[in-house]
Amino acid sequence: MTINKSLWTKTTCAYCGVGCGVEAKSNAQGLLDIRGDKEHPANYGHLCSKGLALGETVVHEGRLLHPAIDGLRTDWPTAISHIAAQFSQTIKEFGPDSVAFYVSGQLLTEDYYVANKLMKGFIGSGNIDTNSRLCMSSSVAGYKRAFGEDVVPVCYEDLDTTDMVVLTGSNFAWCHPVLFQRLKAAKQARPELFIVVIDPRKTDTCDIADLYLPIQPGGDVALFNGLLAHLAQHNKINKNYIETYSDGFDAALDSAKQDCADLDDFIKRTGISHKHLQTFYQKFSDTEKVLTIYSQGVNQSSQGTDKVNSIINCHIATGRIGKSGMGPFSITGQPNAMGGREVGGLANMLATHMDFNNPEHHKLVSDFWSTDRLATKPGLKAVDLFDAIDEGKVKAVWIIATNPAVSLPDTQKVIRALKKCPLVVVSDCIKDTDTARLANVLLPAQGWSERSGTVTNSERRISRQRRLLPTPGDGKPDWWAISQVAQKMGFNTAFDYLHEGQIFDEYVKMTAIGNEQGKNRALNLIGLANLGNEGYHNLQPQQWPVSEYQTEVVHKRLFSNNHFFTENGKAQFISVSHHRPQSQTTDVFPFSLNSGRIRDQWHTMTRTGLSSRLSAHKTEPFIDIHPEDALAAGLINGNLIELSSEYGQAVVRVNISTQVQPKHLFMPIHWSRTTSSQGNVGVLIKPNTDKNSGQPEYKHTPVSIKKWQYNSEAMLLTRSPLDLSEFGYWVKQKVEAGYLYRVAEKITPTQLMKKCHALLQQNKGKNLNYSPSSNSTTPIYRYANIQQQQMQTAYVVGQDLQQQELDWLQTLLDEQVDATVERSIISGQVEGKLAAGKIICACKQVGINTIKNAIQDNQLTSAQGISECTGAGTGCGTCMSEVEAILMEHSAETITQENPVQYIAV
């Protein structure tokens, strides 16, 4: 069938900072068909599982459709007037610093620009910060210290031309899968490409590594200081580059030498053997084209900025900046974290890379915005901001496109602060989030598929997000809502925008003020000025700086001319020293908790959680724990475990894994109070922050563990959401046409069955029941209600369902109930399609049993063979590590059964 290309609209993915180009078109179901944009230089047509599932998340289910004040529906004029009056009155009584905005890397650049302009330019406070503070602010601070400006000097093309890649603090395979697949392809094409992975966890990223370094949390500065000292000792530095284009080398080297003076202590602090250290240092020394890629594992630290500069120091010392295949490369976490940094979305930045501490910049911005109210000092950074709300210093806050009641550390404090704040305005497209529950005013925002504007990815490439679908209810663009409030506060002419293209044009022109020909700041977009409506609508991807419109794809590296944006035009070495993390494990809290993302989910799941495909991979909050620690604690896979820190408790499933080291744990960030009873990791995290960047430390929290005892479990299937607040443990999962809940309780299975039956029993249709015999030692109860051959509700209750294969329940609401399905429900023995098992490949919906059966039936010996037979891994490819693990496990099982001695010998 020939596809009419005119039906496809080019836009940009809503997830990570890779900034993949997407093509979308409406389908008969009212959703979107999605494919990768083969012309977009960020991904050339490739998408990950989350990107491929974007079309499934544009449902209207759970959408915030109308403005509301104190829980009562209202209209936009009333809501706008209320917010403006409340903000104005608060400012009048307590001053401009009594109000604040907390925004998001999910915003478009145009939204960000208007929010920053209102707060800093006209309210007159620096109190606008962003959730990008939680992921990239240490990189910002490190780049500014070294280069004089927040600039990423490399581009994605360097993945194809480098000879060595150092991946540190990044599970590249799961968090930036499209770039990981690009790197994997480069490795396959050039096996000599040397890849180093530095991480406390042995993640799927290690599958392509030549060298894995299991670093201790907080050991990065010591590791890279050791590298700098090694480079100097073995005459592997570029003396001419250092002398001509940099400052501060001697002091930085002195600090580095002190960090590694005692070899035994140095090895203890890094956690890496002397042999592996020498291999890494020697390979870095002898390889000209080295690309160091880092992300949250470096940034999310109380010493994050110093970690960044320790990496940059090594690149300056060798002159490996500004050339193909080399340089320090921070990979941003969110789709527009970079755009927010550009326009001043961080509290310590003014706008368009201009600074508070520069009087000339202050005058340039004041004149450009025609304001005499411009803030004169930085505002409060995220953690400090919510401290100020808790202390009553900030009395009105507008939260836009983010969920701080889940994502910030010490979330109990955040919730307490918002509960007592006199005015909490929340703009979101989702009605029920942990943060929305605390709002006085709710404003319905447009979702990804309805918005129009621009985003900037990790390689400084600006792309268009285009409107694909009409907005449900009264949803509006965030820039519009902010502008309306600004006008109502009396700032009419400065915010009289008719459409987002006008905002973009103003922002573009602002990048050029005091920056003739980009000599003073790298961020200069003057080539995109005066595009007009048609030019803006048709804007092609542009990589800044943009002196003139780029009609073809370019790949720009910064600093190829060896000119930096510091006062003397030279790169700055920063003297840094290793310090132990602010929090240390103790006898009371003996485990180090690391937190991060999983493959198929994003942030707090308000978008990805709407996709049944994505929700099927990891269905409950969990911890990875080393087998030694599990054995000592008497834990087996599937047990529930209570984690405690000095700030709170969480209850999650146990996943025994050798990916973590002994005394180290890993827990995902995604579950909230709307999706689980006690699965939020933020309640555990101590709000330690980096003194330079203000970024919190999420990678090392001392915790204790103990088994959470329960006597019964249940799985509940329903087409409508349930209130399970009275249950001890519960988790909510989106499935096709409804929800699947997992429950655990301290009561008996019979008592739990009665609670579940009261919730789900239907009087209409056909009821199926199975009850155990009175003398059963492991009682299992099953119930289902069927109406017109469609499942309406169902439950399974037992003493321990972790030993049962029940993943088939996830598909029941979408299945026509025939005799086969009825037999499965009553007997618990699945047949037919229900037997696919736990989903491994989210893209192609391939279950674990399908893979195992294919291996056995076809005598498969390779992951490629599994892909050809089942389709697993033929989408985004990020499941291939799990496919390979299943192959190895299945092979081991087969060998054990056939020849135990041979297996032991192997």
DSSP symbols for 698-721: -S-EEEEEEE---SEEEEEEESS-
- Rounded to 5 degrees, φ, ψ at 552 are -125, 160
* Rounded distance between C-alpha atoms, residue 822 and residue 805, angstroms: 17
DSSP type of residue 216: P
Nearest to 347 by CA among 128, 139, 142, 137: 128
Q: Which two tokens stand for residue 240?
A: 């001419």
Q: Which two tokens stand for residue 727?
A: 């249950």
* Rounded distance between C-alpha atoms, residue 316 and residue 319, angstroms: 5
Q: Which two tokens stand for residue 811?
A: 């598909």
510's torsion region: left (phi>0), alpha (psi -120 to 50) or beta? alpha
Nearest to 165 by CA among 287, 41, 310: 287
Q: Which CATH architecture has domain 68-134+336-501?
A: 3-Layer(aba) Sandwich (3.40)
What residue ranges of the chain are covered by domains with CATH 1.10.10.1100? 839-905
* Rounded distance between C-alpha atoms, residue 194 and residue 287, angstroms: 9
Q: Which two tokens stand for residue 864?
A: 């490629």
pLDDT at 6: 56
Superfamily for 839-905?
A: BFD-like [2Fe-2S]-binding domain (1.10.10.1100)
Residue carrying structure tokens 């023995």: 829
Which alpha helices (DSSP H) does 795-899 contain, by range? 819-827, 848-858, 863-870, 880-898
* Rounded distance between C-alpha atoms, residue 696 and residue 684, angstroms: 13
Q: What is the mean pLDDT of each run of 10 residues along the chain (906 residues)?
A: 63 96 93 96 96 94 97 98 98 98 97 98 98 96 98 97 97 96 97 98 96 96 98 98 98 97 94 97 98 96 97 98 97 93 97 97 98 98 98 98 97 98 98 98 98 98 97 98 98 97 98 94 97 97 97 96 96 96 92 95 91 90 98 96 97 97 97 97 96 96 97 96 96 95 96 95 91 79 93 94 83 85 80 72 83 86 88 84 73 40 23
**End-to-end CA distance of the chain, in Å?**
52
Query: Under a CB-based contact definition with an 8 Å cutoff, are residues 246 and 571 in contact?
Result: yes
Q: Which CATH architecture has domain 591-707?
A: Beta Barrel (2.40)
27's torsion region: left (phi>0), alpha (psi -120 to 50) or beta? beta
Query: Under a CB-based contact definition with an 8 Å cutoff, are residues 876 and 184 in contact?
Result: no
* Rounded distance between C-alpha atoms, residue 847 and residue 837, angstroms: 5
770's torsion region: left (phi>0), alpha (psi -120 to 50) or beta? beta
pLDDT at 597: 94
* Rounded distance between C-alpha atoms, residue 121 and residue 369, angstroms: 7
Q: Is 531 exposed, middle or buried (0-12, 13-18, 19+ CB in 10 A)?
A: middle
What residue ranges of the chain are covered by domains with CATH 3.40.50.740? 68-134+336-501
Q: Which two tokens stand for residue 340?
A: 């927010």
- Rounded to 5 degrees, φ, ψ at 828 are 80, 0
pTM greater than the 0.75 cutoff: yes
* Rounded distance between C-alpha atoms, residue 646 and residue 390, angstroms: 19
Amino acid at 549: Y
DSSP type of residue 425: E
pLDDT at 517: 86
CB proximity list for 543: less than 8 A, separation 6 or greater: 155, 459, 460, 461, 462, 550, 554, 555, 556
* Rounded distance between C-alpha atoms, residue 64 and residue 632, angstroms: 47
DSSP line for 592-621: EEEEE--TT--TTSTTGGG-HHHHTTS-S-
Which alpha helices (DSSP H) does 287-409 contain, by range? 296-299, 304-317, 337-343, 359-369, 382-390, 404-407
CA angle 396, 400, 404 (to 5 degrees): 80
Q: Is 897 exposed, middle or buried (0-12, 13-18, 19+ CB in 10 A)?
A: exposed
Q: Which CATH number describes the domain made up of 137-330? A: 3.40.228.10
Q: What is the dihedral of CA 221, 222, 224, 226, to 10 degrees?
A: 160
Query: Under a CB-based contact definition with an 8 Å cutoff, are residues 135 and 337 in contact?
Result: yes
Q: Which two tokens stand for residue 308?
A: 């960044």
Cα four-point dihedral sign 111, 115, 121, 122: positive
* Rounded distance between C-alpha atoms, residue 40 and residue 553, angstroms: 9
Query: Under a CB-based contact definition with an 8 Å cutoff, are residues 361 and 514 in contact?
Result: yes
Q: Which two tokens stand for residue 191?
A: 């096996």
* Rounded distance between C-alpha atoms, residue 34 and residue 468, angstroms: 11
pLDDT at 840: 83
Query: Under a CB-based contact definition with an 8 Å cutoff, are residues 472 and 65 in contact?
Result: yes
In 331-452, beta strands by DSSP E: 396-400, 423-428, 441-444
User: Is domain 5-57 annotated with CATH 3.30.470.10?
Assistant: no
What residue ranges of the chain are covered by domains with CATH 3.40.228.10? 137-330
Q: Is 502 exposed, middle or buried (0-12, 13-18, 19+ CB in 10 A)?
A: middle
Residue carrying structure tokens 């910030």: 408
pLDDT at 36: 96
pLDDT at 3: 37
Q: Cis omega (within 30 of 0) on the bond before 702?
A: no
* Rounded distance between C-alpha atoms, residue 793 and residue 804, angstroms: 20
* Rounded distance between C-alpha atoms, residue 637 and residue 612, angstroms: 24
